């Protein structure tokens, strides 16, 4: 791997992640890490013909999760270079197949893209969890879900502010909870009495129209090595489950 760090932040977490990642995997194209001053900059990876780009805020790059975030993004790069359907299948095409002829709220359509990203994340973390310890991932899933539930409409606001949007949408929060459970169950990371289960139950109660168990099964049971058709069907199925629930009776 060839990792090049640019911007106002430390190179150490990204180089440390490189050393860990290379114990099992490699990325052929150069990796350009771009550290941004904007604290709200999301961590995301882009793929060009001759290199990958990892965009990250300075705040994230200097956080305790920096190395783990880098490992996760390197795993996305590996999936992309390997031609894994989760990273090459057109999300737009799958959503078109899933929602053709349906009337879908813009809010839910946006959430469908987030759900597609969850599926990509599952396949990336199938790699990440082979090379790195799971403790920080579990803690991250727990704290993210707890924060979203605390910020749900109708709940008392917390005294401290967060970078994430306030008044988290209960429906996508319930799906996020299902994703978190699927991730830890897929890799047997926590016991049955872990706090994540209590948080997921709370999220499900806030969104009675969402079946937590259905989405958990969707995410947890994703085939490790699907072909394009199998992956497209999985993405279409989970999209329909979320986006057209209000239209089923009318159809």
Residue 102 has a pLDDT of 87
Residue 147: which of 127, 124, 176, 113 has the closest Cα?
176
C-alpha atoms less than 13 angstroms from C-alpha of 191 in its C-beta half-sphere = 2
How does strand 3-6 pair with strand 31-36? Answer: parallel
- Condensed to tens digits (0 to 9), the pLDDT of residues 104-158 reads 889 999 999 999 999 999 999 999 999 999 999 999 999 999 988 886 555 544 3
Positions in the chain short of pLDDT 50: 156-166, 247-251
Residue 234: which of 73, 89, 82 has the closest Cα?
89
Structural domain boundaries in the chain: 3-64, 85-243
Distance CA 231, CA 104 (A): 22
Please tell me whether the overall predicted TM-score, pTM, comes out greater than 0.95 for this model. Answer: no
Residue 176: which of 154, 138, 204 has the closest Cα?
204
Residue 156 has a pLDDT of 44
Residue 152: which of 126, 170, 165 has the closest Cα?
170
**Which run of H or E residues covers position 4?**
strand 3-6
Residue 39 has a pLDDT of 80
């Amino acid at each position: 791997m060839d990792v090049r760090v640019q911007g106002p932040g430390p190179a150490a977490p990204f180089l440390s992640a490189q050393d860990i990642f290379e114990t099992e995997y490699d990325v052929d194209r150069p990796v350009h890490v771009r550290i941004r001053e904007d604290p709200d900059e999301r961590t995301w990876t882009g793929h060009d013909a001759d290199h990958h780009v990892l965009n990250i805020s300075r705040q994230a790059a200097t956080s305790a999760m920096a190395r783990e975030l880098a490992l996760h993004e390197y795993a996305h790069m590996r999936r992309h270079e390997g031609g894994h359907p989760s990273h090459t299948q057109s999300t737009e095409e799958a959503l078109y197949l899933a929602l053709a002829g349906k009337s879908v709220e813009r809010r839910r359509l946006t959430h469908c893209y987030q759900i597609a990203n969850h599926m990509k994340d599952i396949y990336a973390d199938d790699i990440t969890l082979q090379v790195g310890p799971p403790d920080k991932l579990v803690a991250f899933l727990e704290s993210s879900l707890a924060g979203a539930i605390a910020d749900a409409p109708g709940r008392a606001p917390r005294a401290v502010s967060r970078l994430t949007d306030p008044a988290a949408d209960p429906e996508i929060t319930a799906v996020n909870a299902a994703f978190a459970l699927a991730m830890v169950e897929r890799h047997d990371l926590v016991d049955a009495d872990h706090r994540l289960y209590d948080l997921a139950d709370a999220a499900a109660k806030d969104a009675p129209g969402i079946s937590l168990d259905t989405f958990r099964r969707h995410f947890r049971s994703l085939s490790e090595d699907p072909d394009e058709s199998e992956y497209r069907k999985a993405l279409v199925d989970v999209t329909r489950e979320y986006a057209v629930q209000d239209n089923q009776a009318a159809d």
